[in-house]
Amino acid sequence: MSPPSVVQNNAAAKTAVVPPFDLAVLLLLLGFAVMYLPTYYTLSQSAWGTDANGHGPMILGLCFWLLWRERKEILAPAPAAPVAGAVFLLLALACYVVGRSQALDTLEAGSQILTLIAMLLLLRGWSGLKKAWFPVFFLIFMVPLPGVFTQMLTLPLKMAVSWCAEFIMHAAGYPIGRSGVILVIGPYQLLVADACSGLNSIFTLEALGLFYMKLMDYRSRARNVLLAIMIIPISFVSNVTRVLALILITYYFGDEVGQGFMHNFAGVVLFSVALLLIYGFDHLLAVKFDASSSEPIREVRA
């Protein structure tokens, strides 16, 4: 007969190697996959192929990675909330059915957020939902933007980008004029199209900025809020920089060069400028917040 200490050590060892998954978790994950894999396929054939929602797969992958990264904390034993979970599940199913049947991508894709909330409540209650709040919230950036909302913001942004580009080029001495969102420089006319409004980059960069803050795990709420707000003007400045680059390329090298490879490469310039500005602004914030005792240095988990 084994001594009690040996038995206890063996029991502890067995408990330590048991993964944080049980039959209920596996069944819910299987149901989620069966329910939303057709949705992802539909999005890949429609919304994800556009400039406005091309970042969707990236956001989805990062969200699932965050959930996997924090699975031990999220799936730690906690009392379930079956009533609240059932309510959210019924609401998610209603949104899914209506969105799927009526080809409403926003409603269909958005229902997965409600489904994840329902799963967490059914498995680990409000405690599990609280621990997983960021990945669930982050999934919002994957949902295709409604067309009405996009059109409402696109025109003012295009006008603002056109005005800033004209003002800067005119101040630099270039022969440029503007009529609405059409810029005329030398013999060339350039239309600031919807893709050049910067709306897409604002949402993408805001998502990447929030993901960056999550990885850095800053404890100061003020620092997080300031950085999140500053991403919006940084996105706008980066988009104006992209338009200026295309104007100069067209002016010096012709319309074919400006609308060819360099037009697509200008998108890389946009994100490079934006990420450098975000990183620089974060370092400026570090001068204040890292020197404060309320902002201890946090270790970034891989």
Residues with catalytic roles: 196, 242
Q: Which residue has the tokens 């500005």?
A: 277
Residues whose CB falls within 8 Å of the CB of residue 59, separated by 6 or more in sequence, listed in order: 138, 139, 141, 142, 207
Nearest to 199, CA basis, from 273, 136, 266, 147:
147
Burial class (CB in 10 A: 0-12, 13-18, 19+), 200: buried
Residue 185 is encoded by which pair of tokens? 């420089």
Residues whose CB falls within 8 Å of the CB of residue 19, separated by 6 or more in sequence, listed in order: none
Amino acid sitting at position 19: P
Q: Which helix (H) or strand (E) holds 105?
A: helix 105-131
Q: Which helix (H) or strand (E) holds 245?
A: helix 221-253
